[in-house]
Amino acid sequence: VHEGILRRQSLRESAARTYARSLPIVPVRARGLTIEGADGRRYLDCLSGAGTLALGHNHPVVLEAIKNVIDSGAPLHVLDLATPVKDAFTTELFATLPPQFADNARIQFCGPAGTDAVEAAFKLVRAATGRSGLLAFTGAYHGMTAGALAASGGAEDVRVTRLPFPQDYRCPFGIGGERGAEVAARWTESLLDDPKGGAPAPAGMILEPVQGEGGVNPAPDGWMRRMREITAARSIPLIADEVQTGVGRTGAFWAVQHSGIVPDVMVLSKAIGGSLPLAVIVYRSELDTWHPGAHAGTFRGNQLAMAAGTATLAYVRENRLAERAATLGARMLARLQALAIDHPCIGDVRGRGLMIGVELVDPEADMPAGGTGGGLGAPPDPVLASAVQQECLRRGLIVELGGRHSAVVRLLPPLTLTDEQATAVLDRLADALAAAER
């Protein structure tokens, strides 16, 4: 069964398929951290639906919420009509948001994917400001539709440079320690105050509090506050893309809470749907000047996703899973940092909460001219990273790669991870590293 399905799908599916290339698994059952393939093999899933599964696979409260909607006879398709299920979701979501933000916020339900909500955010700030340009950061990832893609990556990123979209304003992300972050902030300031060719101010700035696909790059709190000041002083709406960082993942319910900033727009997806497709933007009500139908879509009313999302948000809040992610994540990070002492191929270990990245380097190779830009002592090693991913798989551990060079091993386990499971994950990763290094 297993081999037949893999063979048939590899022949029938698009050349653009992604995860299926590096993870030849045919999932047939899953629960919590564990996923089981058609061949009977079991894996610890630290990809978690690309960071979607805050409660792991098929959590009982999520399944029950879905069943309740089905048993109630509620319509499953409701366009964007008001329903009790949507009412409950909106109430729970607003209860989790920072009060200074939620008290004066509006919500727009978007199409099923994060990228759709990013497009909605862009349209919203363009309508509200009457301006068109967008300011985004190197290493960013906002999705695969045209506008979101144009705001992703950087000049060196193949996903972006092959597209004919203008990159209106591209600034360095605030990494490289306090000094690097301040240099980056000044870069942004000077760009805005003296835009090349006299370009007008942008309609908005979009940032991820921790870049995920870009290789797990946490923005320092100070830099986040600088970005808030810089945008506020120039009346530029600040859009926080919390598609991946939201719902406790980074050790706060929303990652903007680490720095205490209040953005103008929040883009939310992934975990808010409790493993089903759901994406929204929440924004300051003064921005709500776009016209009816300015952002529509047939699938804005996924009742099952809203119910699953309500259950997930409530469970994370009631069980303080954000705090749990903070303490467990810090412990995992410390163990990985200790591992780096014995493994020169570990160029960097970084993360926040249960969003963790291990950047692999080739300590024997010469640095390319201009360095890597990431403050590493050696060039990134995507070949080793890919080998580590395969060794992990052999040991029953699913990890994802990310970063500009695909040399960052990423861990995004569910927030329900137990201490024993965390140990098992790190044991397998350490074994895989030792095997791949040889």
**Which residues of the shown chain bind ligand PMP in the complex (CB under 6 A)?**
50, 113-115, 118, 141-143, 208, 212-213, 241, 243-244, 269
Other beta carbons within 10 angstroms of residue 186's beta carbon come to 12
Closest CB to ligand PMP among residues 113, 385: 113
Label the pairing between strands 204-207 and 238-241: parallel
> Cβ 321 to ligand PMP, closest distance in Å?
19
Q: Which lies closer to ligand PMP via its Cβ, residue 56 or residue 112?
A: 112
Query: What stretches of 247-391 adopt beta strand conformation (E)?
Result: 265-268, 280-284, 346-352, 355-360
Give the whole-angstrom CA distance, residue 255 versus residue 275. Answer: 20
Q: Shortest distance, CB of residue 215 to ligand PMP, whole angstroms?
A: 12
For residue 325, the minimal CB distance to ligand PMP (Å) is: 17
- Number of H helices and E strands in the chain, helices first, is 16, 17
Of residues 212 and 218, the one with the C-beta less far from ligand PMP = 212
From the CB of 113, what's the least distance to ligand PMP, in Å? 4
φ/ψ (deg, to 5) at 357: -130, 140
> In the complex, what is the shortest distance from the CB of residue 50 to ligand PMP, in angstroms, rounded to a whole number?
5
Asked if residue 79 lies in contact with residue 260, where contact means CB atoms within 8 angstroms, the answer is no
**Are the beta carbons of 432 and 397 closer than 8 angstroms?**
yes
- Closer residue to ligand PMP, CB minimum distance, 53 or 426: 53
Instruction: Give the dihedral of Cα atoms 60, 65, 68, 73; nearest 10 deg.
Output: -140
Nearer to ligand PMP, 149 or 407 (CB): 149
**Best CA proximity match to 322, nearest among 269, 253, 255:** 253
Q: Which is nearer to ligand PMP, 107 or 436 (CB)?
A: 107
Least distance (Å) from ligand PMP to the CB of residue 245?
7
Q: What is the DSSP string of 350-409?
A: EEETTEEEEEEB-TTSPPPTT--SS--SS-B-HHHHHHHHHHHHHTTEE-EEESTTS-EE
CA dist., res. 150 & res. 170, Å (int): 10
Closer Cβ to ligand PMP, 210 or 311, answer by number: 210
Closest CA relative to residue 359, chosen from 258, 433, 435: 433
What is the smallest separation between the CB atom of 145 and ligand PMP, expressed in angstroms?
7
